[in-house]
Amino acid sequence: MSDYKRTTEDLSPLETALARLVPHAEGWNRDQILFLAGQASVSGGAENARRRTRWGWPSAFGAMTAVAATLLVMLLAQQRPQMATVENQRPAEDVKRADTASADVPPKAIEVDKNSGQKGDVAEPAVSPAVAWRLRNALRAQRDGAAYLYLRDRVLAFGLDEWTSTTDVNAQKEPASVPSYQQLRMSWMGS
Amino acid sequence: MRPTGAELLGRLLDDHGRALVLYARGWCEAPEDVVQEAFLKLARQPDVPDNPVAWLYRVVRNGAITAARAHGRRQRHERAAAEESAAWFVASDETRLDALEVTDSLRGLPVEQRETIVARLWGGLSFEEIAALGGTSSSTAHRRYQAGLAALRERLGVECPTTNARPKI
């Protein structure tokens, strides 16, 4: 008898008589159930193992996605340098004089917003538009020589401030044809 | 059968298979399938439950109720009418009770009383385990058991015992 079944000693006669009845099970096939249970235990173990490994790739994917999102947020949060386009507006007669490299009217600086296309006055440009315009005219006048290329490279490499501060020092080493900032300034003032 | 063990599974099948079928018969019309699925589910378990018999009864109960809902009430009634004369028990000379008469009497009981009597008499579960199956207290399970026995006694025409033998809880 089963270990799980209770004894019938403490039962009433009706309970004893009922407990002696054997339940009917027509479609009951013990061997088939044991065979299917064996298959289920194997597939169940494989499924459990698969379930454990199934978390590997999603976890790695989630972690990498989180890292990428964090880096993207950090990249977007960085302070971007403000880009401003300075457009020179000159009267028609000034354009003619600029062509002859003798224009003396400094242009008016206007800031153009690249996104909206709207124009506005420049509050504090990095370089005065008048200075930039005069410098451009002076450089244009000497663009045939090597001085222009050298000066352009210096300005592009170090910026106007760096070029201005080191002009006197570099003047001793550089060719005589290279105009210094002071010379250019004098030429602007004279013109 | 590494997790559960073939020996344990075979013993559970021999001792409780038929009782589980009878237990599931109270809800659905294909109790063998429900019980078979319960044993397969037990075989898939990575660890053997603490009380495998109570675990099987719980799984069979849930599966039978789910199967009954899936079949639908109309189909269940049609099948019940078709199997009206089918006995739930094997005819035996060991008892003076008629299998078909006991079947009809059990079928006429409320489902709570019927499942309590089946789980107690043929399943060998304690009242605590029966109460856990139905989500009630052990006193409620005991009361249902006594009420079901009284109804069976009346329907089967069995005289009331002179000594009130109360089953051990």
In chain B, what are the domain boundaries? 1-84, 87-169
Chains A–B, number of C-beta pairs less than 8 Å apart = 137
B101, pLDDT greater than 70:
yes
CA distance A56 to chain B (A): 21
CA distance A65 to chain B (A): 33
B161 touches chain A (CB under 8 A): yes
Amino acid, res. B124: G
User: Residue B30: what pLDDT?
Assistant: 82
More confident residue, A67 or B102: A67
CA distance B73 to chain A (A): 23
Compute the mean pLDDT over every residue in chain B, rounded to the nearest whole number: 82
User: Residue A97: what pLDDT?
Assistant: 62
Report the residue from A20, A28, A41 with minimal CB separation from B92. A20
Q: Does domain B87-169 have CATH number 1.10.10.10?
A: yes
A114, pLDDT greater than 60:
no
Instruction: Return the closest-CA partner of residue A107 out of A89, A125, A92.
Output: A89
* Domain at B1-84: CATH code: 1.10.1740
Q: Where are the alpha helices (DSSP H) in chain A?
A: 13-20, 30-53, 56-77, 92-99, 129-141, 146-173, 181-190
B45 touches chain A (CB under 8 A): yes
Q: Which two three-digit tokens encode residue B129?
A: 């385990």
B5, pLDDT greater than 60:
yes
pLDDT > 90 fraction of chain A, expressed in percent and rounded = 8
Residues in B touching A3 (Cβ below 8 Å)? 15
A122, pLDDT greater than 60:
no
| DSSP, residue by residue, A3-22 | SSSPPSTTS-HHHHHHHHSE
- Confidence class for position B46, pLDDT limits 50, 70, 90: confident
User: Residue B67: what pLDDT?
Assistant: 87
pLDDT > 70 fraction of chain B, expressed in percent and rounded = 81
**Cβ–Cβ below 8 Å for B1 and A37:** yes
pLDDT > 90 fraction of chain B, expressed in percent and rounded = 27
CA angle A187, A98, A180 (to 5 degrees): 25
Flag the least confident range among A59-63, B28-32, B91-95: B91-95
**Cβ–Cβ below 8 Å for B39 and A33:** yes
User: Residue A6: what pLDDT?
Assistant: 47
Residues in B touching A19 (Cβ below 8 Å)? 121-122
Amino acid, res. B85: S
A90, pLDDT greater than 50:
yes
Q: List strands edge to edge, sheet with A119-121.
A: A85-89, A108-112, A119-121
Residues of B (66-85) whose Cβ lies below 8 Å from A? none
pLDDT tens for each residue of B140-161? 999 999 999 999 988 888 776 6
A67, pLDDT greater than 90:
yes
- Confidence class for position B58, pLDDT limits 50, 70, 90: very high
In chain A, what are the domain boundaries? 26-77, 81-126, 142-191
B124, pLDDT greater than 80:
yes
Compute the mean pLDDT over every residue in chain A, rounded to the nearest whole number: 70
- Confidence class for position A45, pLDDT limits 50, 70, 90: low
Do the beta carbons of residue A107 and residue A90 sit within 8 Å? yes
A30, pLDDT greater than 70:
yes
B122 touches chain A (CB under 8 A): yes
Torsion (CA) A51, A52, A54, A58 in degrees, nearest 10: 130
User: What is the three-class DSSP state of B31?
Assistant: helix
Q: Which of B44, B126, B168 to mutate to test the interface with A (most CBs of A within 10 A)?
A: B44
